A and B are shown apart, each in its own frame.
Chain A
Amino acid sequence: MDGKLDWMAAGLPTEGTNALHPRAGDTARKDVPTCGLTDRLGDVRERVKEKAWDSVVVVNQEHVVLGLLRSAELAKDADLLIEQAMRPGPSTFRPYVSLHEMAHFMIEHKLENAPITTSDGRLVGLLLQKDVVAAMNKIAK
């Protein structure tokens, strides 16, 4: 473990006043569908639709995030390989980023979702803007 940020990025427990604030890793959906670079887009689209998702995270065998497919990418030609259709190298956030910061950035940048990863790029989950807003509203009440 390289330091405090890496400790928190791995989703390990923390102490103190700040530990009580909700974090991206707590709210990110861990059941987000994933696929590989060489999968066929049409097959992935069907699988995702069955689970009522509109985004898929592209990962390698170590579960490191390589790309992301949101609605626009999922709507492309069914015969494309995932590596041809995906949005490569998406911006990722660490699990310890506060939900308040995530809400600010996701709304300002119209981000429907954002991948949450550890420091070495392994997928933790997908944070949905609607979940962030709901969590922030719950805190405000």
Chain B
Amino acid sequence: MSESAPVRKRCTKCDRAVEVCACCDEPECEAAICYGCLRVAVGQALPQPHAHGG
């Protein structure tokens, strides 16, 4: 017997899988956004040109 994997939300900006929306903390948010995209969108961080750190 196999269990199906839980359906995860995806960030509406970068398509990264997210457990809850970083803006409203709701798992069922229709406009889910990841923490990184939210920080860039509100100007709390600069967009990083590369996924790695250095």
Contact of A91 with B42 at beta-carbon distance under 8 Å, contacts A108-B31, A109-B31 already known: no
Say yes or no: A98 contacts B43, CB within 8 Å.
yes
Say whether B25 contacts A87, CB under 8 Å: yes
Least distance between B45 CB and chain A CB atoms (Å)? 8
Q: Is the interface of B mostly helix, strand, loop or mixed?
A: loop
Query: Could you tell me the distance between the alpha carbons of A98 and B42 in the complex, rounded to whole angstroms?
Result: 8
Number of A-B residue pairs with CB-CB distance less than 8 Å in the complex they form: 38
Tell me, yes or no, whether A32 is within 8 Å of chain B by CB: no
Listed in ascending order, the chain A residues whose CB lies under 8 Å from chain B are 5, 87, 90-91, 93-94, 96-98, 101-102, 105, 108-111
List 6 A-B pairs, minimum CB-CB distance, nearest first. Answer: A109-B24, A109-B23, A97-B42, A101-B42, A108-B31, A94-B44
Seen from chain B, the residues whose Cβ lies within 8 Å of a Cβ on chain A are: 21-26, 29, 31, 38, 41-45
